[in-house]
């Protein structure tokens, strides 16, 4: 059978990319099914309004270039669909001519590469994670070598003080390495936490007791306001303990990293009930963070502690909060300190509390 215009239109409709045909005023005069499904059926609207939710023309427009020189043009664009989500595409344009050869319209064909860009972002984050962890391990190994060197000096000179100092360095760096490996294993696991009843106030008091000596050692005031009726959640006790430990440890580190003079440092832990939510707040008046730092805190790898951080602590905290059906957020300004807020859904009537 001969090929017909109906066949061309059917092909135009079923191809899996976005196709629109535009006139010289950038009105969309035709579009295929895939375009209508994702961007709506508003034939006649301006392409920049429909594709990008703009009020004016795009500064660089492949359609305009094709109208000008009659050639095909390509570009990579980020579009906005009808649900407000970003769609990454590679755009190709081609002229549509009448019988006299005049360009009367331009066809724009866009291939969706959103999943490809998402995969590239994940790979970039993975590369950052591997590089950051390798750097952290290098720093830990340097600390271990330093400790071993001092221990060997102590053996050579029979100096107990050197033996004690070197061994403390070895222990400290082994503890750092162990904590980093445990965090890596936790972040790599995909699982649901056990549904044990965990008292938020009991865990908070336990973690406060663990960090009190370290805060006192550095003259940091460690305070708490723990509501005994804050309630219980369903989850894994070790995970909630880890979340609180990371937040309190970070708060103390934020005070230690601040270079302000004549400042009295303070860390406050608040645990309370707000409706059906248990709320944990950790507030410090340490170094604080700017907007760029805040935006990276819960990414795959990011550390505010330089050589002394693994970049995994807040990622673990975020993972714990979300796996338990909750959220974690931060408020912070440079030089003004930070407040981390965790909200976790409370359980019903108690049966067994850990």
For the chain of 354 residues, list the mean pLDDT of each consecutive stretch of 10: 56 84 93 88 85 87 93 91 88 93 93 87 67 73 90 91 91 79 66 78 91 89 89 86 88 86 88 92 88 68 44 76 88 88 80 46
Phi, psi of 304 (to 5 degrees): -100, 5
**pLDDT for position 223:** 92
113 neighbors 92 (Cβ within 8 angstroms): no
**pLDDT for position 132:** 64
**pLDDT for position 190:** 63
**pLDDT for position 20:** 92
172 neighbors 150 (Cβ within 8 angstroms): no
Structure tokens, 348: 């019903």
Q: Distance between CA 263 and CA 207 in Å, rounded? A: 25
58 neighbors 48 (Cβ within 8 angstroms): yes
Q: Cβ neighbours of residue 119 under 8 Å, at least 6 residues apart? A: none
Residues in the chain: 354
Structure tokens, 129: 């994670």
296-305: pLDDT as tens digits:
676 554 444 4
Q: Distance between CA 250 and CA 12 in Å, rounded? A: 57
Q: How far is CA 271 from CA 79, 98, 195, 254, 279, in A?
A: 43, 73, 21, 20, 6
Which architecture does CATH list for 193-354? 2-Layer Sandwich (3.30)
Q: What's the pTM value of the predicted model, to 2 decimals?
A: 0.53
**pLDDT for position 305:** 46
Domain assignments of the chain as residue spans, ordered by start? 5-112, 113-190, 193-354
131-184: pLDDT as tens digits:
667 766 787 888 899 999 999 999 998 999 999 999 999 998 887 787 677 766
Q: Per CATH, which fold does 5-112 belong to? A: Beta-Lactamase (3.30.450)
**pLDDT for position 112:** 92
Q: Distance between CA 320 and CA 239 in Å, rounded? A: 6
DSSP letters of 183-219? HHHHHH---PPP-EEEEHHHHHHHHHHHHHHHHHHTT
């Amino acid at each position: 059978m001969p090929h017909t215009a109906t066949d061309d239109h059917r092909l135009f409709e079923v191809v899996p990319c976005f196709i629109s045909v535009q006139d010289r005023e950038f009105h969309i005069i035709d579009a295929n099914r895939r375009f209508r499904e994702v961007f709506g059926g508003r034939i006649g609207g301006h392409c920049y309004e429909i594709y990008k939710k703009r009020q004016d023309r795009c500064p660089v427009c492949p359609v305009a270039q094709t109208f000008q020189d009659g050639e095909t043009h390509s570009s990579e664009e980020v579009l906005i669909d009808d649900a407000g989500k970003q769609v990454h595409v590679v755009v190709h344009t081609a002229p549509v001519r009448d019988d006299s050869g005049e360009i009367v319209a331009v066809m724009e064909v866009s291939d969706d590469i959103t999943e490809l860009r998402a995969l590239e972002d994940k790979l970039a984050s993975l590369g950052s994670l591997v590089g950051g962890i390798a750097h952290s391990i290098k720093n830990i190994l340097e600390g271990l070598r330093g400790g071993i060197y001092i221990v060997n000096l102590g053996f050579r000179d029979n100096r107990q003080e050197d033996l004690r100092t070197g061994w403390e360095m070895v222990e400290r760096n082994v503890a750092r390495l162990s904590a980093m490996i445990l965090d890596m294993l936790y972040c790599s696991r995909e699982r649901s936490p056990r549904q044990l009843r965990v008292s938020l106030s009991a865990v908070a008091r336990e973690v406060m007791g663990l960090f009190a000596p370290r805060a006192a050692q550095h003259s940091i005031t460690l305070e708490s306001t723990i509501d005994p009726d804050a309630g219980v959640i369903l989850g894994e006790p070790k995970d909630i303990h880890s979340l609180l430990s990371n937040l309190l440890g970070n708060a103390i580190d934020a005070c230690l990293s601040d270079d302000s003079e004549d400042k009295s440092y303070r860390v406050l832990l608040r645990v309370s009930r707000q409706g059906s939510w248990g709320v944990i707040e950790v507030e410090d008046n340490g170094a604080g963070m700017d907007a760029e730092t805040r935006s990276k805190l819960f990414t795959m790898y990011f550390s505010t502690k330089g050589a002394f951080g693994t970049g995994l602590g807040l990622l673990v905290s975020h993972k714990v909060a979300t796996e338990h059906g909750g959220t974690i957020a931060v408020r912070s300004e440079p030089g003004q300190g930070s407040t981390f807020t965790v909200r976790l859904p409370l359980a019903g009537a108690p049966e067994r509390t850990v």
